[in-house]
Structure 1
Amino acid sequence: MSASDSNSSPTNCSSSTMADVTDLAEPPPPPDSTTTTSTSTYPSASSSSSSSSSSLLSPSPPLELNLPLSWPPDGKLSLDWIHNLIACFDWSSKNLLPYELPSVLPVNVFDSLILIASKMLHKEPNCLSIDPVQPNSDSGADSVSTVVVVGDVHGQLHDLLFLFRDAGYPADNRIFIFNGDYVDRGAWGLETFVLLLAWKVFMPHNIYLLRGNHESKYCTSVYGFEKEVLTKYGDKGTHVYRKCLGCFEGLPLASIIAGRVYTAHGGLFRSIHVTPSKRSKGKKNRRIVVNSDVSCLSLGSFEELSKARRTVLDPPWEGSNLIPGDVLWSDPSMTPGLSPNKERGIGLWWGPDCTEEFLKKHQLKLIIRSHEGPDAREKRDGFAGMDEGYTIDHVVESGKLITLFSAPDYPQFQATKERYNNKGAYIVLQSPDFDSPVFHSFTAITPRPKANAYYDYIDVIDSDEELDLTSMVTA
């Protein structure tokens, strides 16, 4: 089956529309397994979004909101705390100016949250092993969780809130895996990332946050997140931004679900052939030679992935630490083989033969990656577009390769007159095998609260092409 007709293959596909997330006093009931539909929309954005508005005219928050947010005295988050966080972010995004966010999320509360979350994330391995089936010593029966996989969200807070309402929140029987790109291009990247960190701190074994290529210093300086944070936190903005960068460095690179499904933001990675070259002056002056001959490219192993140094602000495109850049930046190809990704200037292209080799070698059935929205896909000959929020790119003997994108109506700010109007999607994996994806597509929340872009979306390219590699850190 070709990529162009892959979306017509038999799949369980449910389609969701808009939902109101303003009532968050109680957790929502989990959606049933059939199509979920809701027609309510967001209220109109407050006129206080205008740059000429004064903070003195900002409306008072509803009495049910606990503002400003405060860190729990015992340092332990609760479900009520997170629901209040969601409601506060939802309200402030519609009623406050960006620089008023500290009146909702004070810097000291942000610091407490990101410190705990960063420590958790840095302790996790490069590639997470996630087992949705756990023995239950009390009942004697296994405890089985559903797994929800989410692609790029790009600061589209309100679409993320809908996704949680539609799929159900993280719970004892529901695990979330986010595939990176939480920030940039959208207006609420900071709120989006903070919310996900709060869930991680509250339920560390039921939500996993992988790194995307936009969780880097280079991308966030070009595509808006740095300016967003500086705008929202003023003289404390540099401090908040640096804390975020430090947290980005700790995000794991990939996951393996139930021993059957591999997930990563970009995808596959190369084997690094390192040859020590001896010198007469002893071990101290030994030179390490990395084989850069592209004709010798081969797929890497999970052992190599586990040893890669992920704590770099900008994954390098040259040297001996290439695996993080491959995992975050690579793209599939219809051409067989493994080759440098010349379009992006970093990472790889891999063909269907490489997908088959990778699946067969590691006894996997499915690869779920993200990284490509509708803007990138319209330039990729032979690949299906991102109209439904996902594509099935390779179908091989051992399984499938899927690209998943969870930011509907993307990008939020667009230079062209015609919008892509793409849907977002998430994937549900269930027992017994966890390798038969159930796709849930959903449309964007409308109208979005009014917001200004934090980057020059007219002149800045939309598909991460032609990177200014010389400005990236190569350590």
Structure 2
Amino acid sequence: MLSSAPATAPPAPPSSDEDFFSTASTSTSSDSKPPSPSATPSSALPQIPIAWPDDGVLNVSWVTNLMQAFEWASRAIPPSELPSVLPVKVLDKLVLTASKILHKEPNCVKIEENSGLVSESRVVVVGDVHGQLHDVLFLLRDAGFPADDRFFVFNGDYVDRGAWGLEVFLLLLAWKVLMPHRVYLLRGNHESKYCTAVYGFEKEVATKYGDSGKHVYRKCLGCFEGLPLASIIAGKVYTAHGGLFRGTVATPSKRSKKKNRKVVHNPVVTSLILGSLEELAKARRSVLDPPWEGPNLIPGDVLWSDPSVTPGLSPNKERGIGLLWGPDCTEEFLKKYNLKLIIRSHEGPDARDKRSDLKGMGEGYTIDHIVESGKLITLFSAPDYPQFQATETRYKNKGAYIVLEPPHFDTPIFHSFEAVTQRPKVNPYYDFEEVIDSDEELDMVSMVPESGEQETPA
């Protein structure tokens, strides 16, 4: 039923989606954008507490009510009262249902005709959102909600740094459960234990769910493990959070003397070579903290690597994990698989401010490589990032999303947008004055014993 606000709560937020979304600036694009849904008046308060449907089947009303409930709660109640909006039992149901879907998906999901991609379809690609709930709500409204003819590919980094990582992740899981073949959630480097322990998500969950915080955090970590690593859209566009990855060379060990025993192949990296989609498909992604050592390096590369203007592959020494790859590698990968675009994320305005070789992230995207076969694009969807920042001068960057349209889905249409104004005031969940803004120099090695998930070198 429709609940009333707590007696001590501040006034409720605007009573309609139209009122709320009018606080953000309209996006600008390089071309026409897909139609946004019409404004639908809603009651001043969402239906709370949220209950799991009796038949276990979500519908659009349930998901949009969840969105409205999270937006209302962010303004009207303290974070510790979130369980009064979304009880732990309902959260468990949502995460478990989504996890079952995600774990069944391949490492690299293919969005093609067999997936329902047709001549009337559009595909929206979204970069890092980092717990900026109100900007995510605006983006969904601006691009148009997921629908039979509107696909979404989210490129990871749903949590950390922003104050509403849990709500962002849960609402995207709800869309995934509702439309599993229209909404695709890829993993980012922040969907890991070592990042969420440093950049706020673990503390955020503990603050919001109190005694149940450890339980909720573990459920989220388990769900992170199931997130696919990459996607290929219409056979023409490769998307992944960090980008490209190295290949491995299999060298056989000594043949066993026992009868009918197969030869065991131990993959070792003899030199840095560009990896293949076949190798990506075989990588073991279900690791809590993607390794930077040992035989299973592809997940870490996909999540942590960065482009460079320097040709070739080299270790990403600044981050301590992943690779740097040059325009020649972009061309090789595009040409080998007949692709036109690579869309990756992973670098916000803070990271780009430290790099003189690549463009800044003021508009929410950059075109980093233009080669004979196509382009490499970095996409970042968190405007005015990060929410908490130590420096006096903010970057005031725009966020952006990309729309891919038929017939070939290989020409990016960029939509930049500014941050939602009057963001609710909230305390940070990490020491943003002491913790570096970018992921450089993150001491992942010291955090391995805590996770218990790191693989040892072969």
Q: Is the 8 A contact 2:132 2:387 kept in 1?
A: yes
Q: Is the 8 A contact 1:255 1:262 kept in 2?
A: yes
1:455 aligns with 430
CA drift of 1:220 comes to 0.3
Which range moved further: 277-286 or 186-195?
A: 277-286
Classify 1:358/1:69 alpha carbon distance in 2 versus 1 (closer, same or farther; 3 Å). same
Identity of aligned residues (%): 70
2:300 maps to which of 325, 337, 361: 325
Q: Is the 8 A contact 2:380 2:401 kept in 1?
A: yes
Cα distance between partner residues in 2 of 1:379 and 1:135: 41
Aligned length: 424
1:263 maps to which of 239, 253, 278: 239
Classify 1:387/1:71 alpha carbon distance in 2 versus 1 (closer, same or farther; 3 Å). same
2:351 aligns with 376
Q: Is the 8 A contact 2:119 2:407 kept in 1?
A: no
Cα distance between partner residues in 1 of 2:115 and 2:193: 38
2:85 aligns with 104
1:383 alignment partner AA: L
Matched, 1:248 2:241: no
Runs of 4+ in 1 over 4 A off after TM superposition: 35-38, 61-64, 132-136, 279-290
Matched, 1:23 2:22: no
Cα distance between partner residues in 1 of 2:332 and 2:383: 32
1:412 maps to which of 382, 387, 399: 387
1:359 aligns with 334
1:349 maps to which of 314, 318, 324: 324
CA drift of 1:282 comes to 5.9
Aligned ranges for residues 68-467 of structure 1 at < 5 Å?
Answer: 68-131=49-112, 144-278=120-254, 289-293=266-270, 296-467=271-442
1:34 maps to which of 15, 26, 32: 32
Classify 1:203/1:343 alpha carbon distance in 2 versus 1 (closer, same or farther; 3 Å). same
Q: Is the 8 A contact 2:126 2:402 kept in 1?
A: yes
Classify 1:22/1:462 alpha carbon distance in 2 versus 1 (closer, same or farther; 3 Å). farther
Classify 1:100/1:267 alpha carbon distance in 2 versus 1 (closer, same or farther; 3 Å). same
* Superimposed CA distance per residue, residues 260-297 of structure 1 (whole angstroms, 9 cap, x where no aligned partner): 0000000001111232322777699988654344xx21
1:46 aligns with none
CA drift of 1:467 comes to 2.3
Which range moved further: 76-85 or 258-267?
A: 76-85
Q: Is the 8 A contact 1:132 1:144 kept in 2?
A: no
Classify 1:63/1:368 alpha carbon distance in 2 versus 1 (closer, same or farther; 3 Å). closer
1:65 aligns with 46
Classify 1:104/1:378 alpha carbon distance in 2 versus 1 (closer, same or farther; 3 Å). same
Cα distance between partner residues in 2 of 1:249 and 1:21: 37
Cα distance between partner residues in 1 of 2:137 and 2:91: 20
CA drift of 1:133 comes to 7.7
Classify 1:235/1:424 alpha carbon distance in 2 versus 1 (closer, same or farther; 3 Å). same
* Superimposed CA distance per residue, residues 170-219 of structure 1 (whole angstroms, 9 cap, x where no aligned partner): 00110000000000000000000000000000011111000000000000
Cα distance between partner residues in 1 of 2:62 and 2:115: 28
Classify 1:348/1:282 alpha carbon distance in 2 versus 1 (closer, same or farther; 3 Å). farther
Q: Is the 8 A contact 2:162 2:388 kept in 1?
A: yes
| TM-score computed with the length of structure 1 as normaliser | 0.85
| TM-score computed with the length of structure 2 as normaliser | 0.88
Q: Is the 8 A contact 1:127 1:256 kept in 2?
A: yes
Classify 1:311/1:104 alpha carbon distance in 2 versus 1 (closer, same or farther; 3 Å). same
Classify 1:249/1:281 alpha carbon distance in 2 versus 1 (closer, same or farther; 3 Å). same
Which range moved further: 458-467 or 254-263?
A: 458-467
* Superimposed CA distance per residue, residues 97-130 of structure 1 (whole angstroms, 9 cap, x where no aligned partner): 1100000000000011111100000000000010
* Superimposed CA distance per residue, residues 33-54 of structure 1 (whole angstroms, 9 cap, x where no aligned partner): 637999xxxxxxxxxxxxxxxx
Structure 2: 5+ residue stretches without partners: 1-12, 22-26, 37-41
CA drift of 1:392 comes to 0.1
CA drift of 1:381 comes to 1.7
Cα distance between partner residues in 1 of 2:64 and 2:369: 39
2:53 alignment partner AA: P
* Superimposed CA distance per residue, residues 419-460 of structure 1 (whole angstroms, 9 cap, x where no aligned partner): 000000000000011110000000000111011100011111
Classify 1:225/1:415 alpha carbon distance in 2 versus 1 (closer, same or farther; 3 Å). same
Q: Is the 8 A contact 1:329 1:348 kept in 2?
A: yes
